[in-house]
């Protein structure tokens, strides 16, 4: 006698046509291998709202936290980023392509500009030769060395001119005193100039004809 409920098939029997098999209450079928797909992954079917499944944005293995190095551009070229500031590295600078002198080197070369005249004064009175060599060799690397080399050069040129006049006056006897006084004057102020520049101070000689600028 039918009760209005679909009959449960016995083991080994097929379910009645049109009825379908109902799993036992409280058990259900296990989920498929790999789990169910996320909502909308089935191509926008019913209930998915048409939204597709977006895969997560995974980074390539081994690139997490990697930042590309910021290589400096060539000297004199602006940065590609903001600021447009020229690259300033430890490259040589100056008109001669040489690095500027350090403060210690500046004092050393300034002293050489003044003391070198002592060596040259005994070689045909060429006291100006030493300062000239310093001016040409290191003048472009330091304004301080250039100024002191020019000062020593002008002083020794002036002393050379005064010496020529003093030797001419030897024939009237007064020249001997002038030569002796001029030598003491030259040696004294050369020593004073050397001491001053060794302390990093600029020095200007007295009674100097400044022909070189």
pLDDT in tens, 115-162: 998 887 666 567 889 999 999 999 999 999 999 999 999 999 999 999
Better pLDDT: 120 or 35: 120
Q: Could you tell me which of 201, 195, 212, 199 has the C-alpha nearest to residue 139?
A: 212
pLDDT at 118: 86
Better pLDDT: 24 or 94: 24
Residue 35 has pLDDT above 80, yes or no: no
| Mean model confidence pLDDT for the chain | 74
Residues 168-188: tens digit of each pLDDT: 998 888 888 998 999 999 999
β-bridge partners, 78: 86
Asked whether the beta carbons of 128 and 200 are under 8 A apart, the reply is: no
Domain extents in the chain? 103-160+193-198
How far does CA 100 lie from the centroid of its chain?
A: 14
What global pTM score does this model have?
0.54
């Amino acid at each position: 006698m039918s009760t209005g409920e679909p009959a449960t098939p016995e083991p080994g029997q097929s379910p009645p046509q049109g009825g379908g098999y109902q799993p036992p209450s409280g058990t259900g079928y296990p989920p498929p291998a790999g789990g169910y797909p996320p909502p909308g992954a089935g191509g926008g079917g019913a209930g998915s709202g048409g939204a597709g499944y977006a895969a997560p944005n995974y980074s390539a293995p081994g690139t997490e936290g990697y930042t590309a190095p910021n290589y400096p551009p060539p000297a004199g070229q602006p940065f590609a980023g903001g600021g447009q500031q020229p690259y300033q590295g430890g490259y040589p600078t100056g008109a001669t392509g040489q690095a500027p002198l350090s403060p210690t080197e500046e004092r050393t070369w300034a002293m050489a500009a003044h003391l070198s005249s002592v060596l040259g004064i005994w070689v045909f009175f060429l006291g100006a030769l030493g300062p000239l060599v310093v001016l040409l060799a290191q003048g472009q690397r330091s304004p301080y060395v250039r100024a002191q080399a020019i000062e020593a050069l002008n002083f020794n040129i002036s002393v050379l001119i005064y010496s020529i006049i003093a030797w001419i006056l030897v024939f009237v006897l007064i020249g001997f005193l002038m030569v002796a006084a001029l030598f003491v004057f030259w040696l004294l102020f050369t020593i004073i100039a050397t001491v001053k520049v060794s302390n990093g101070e600029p020095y200007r000689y007295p009674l100097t004809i400044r022909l070189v600028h």
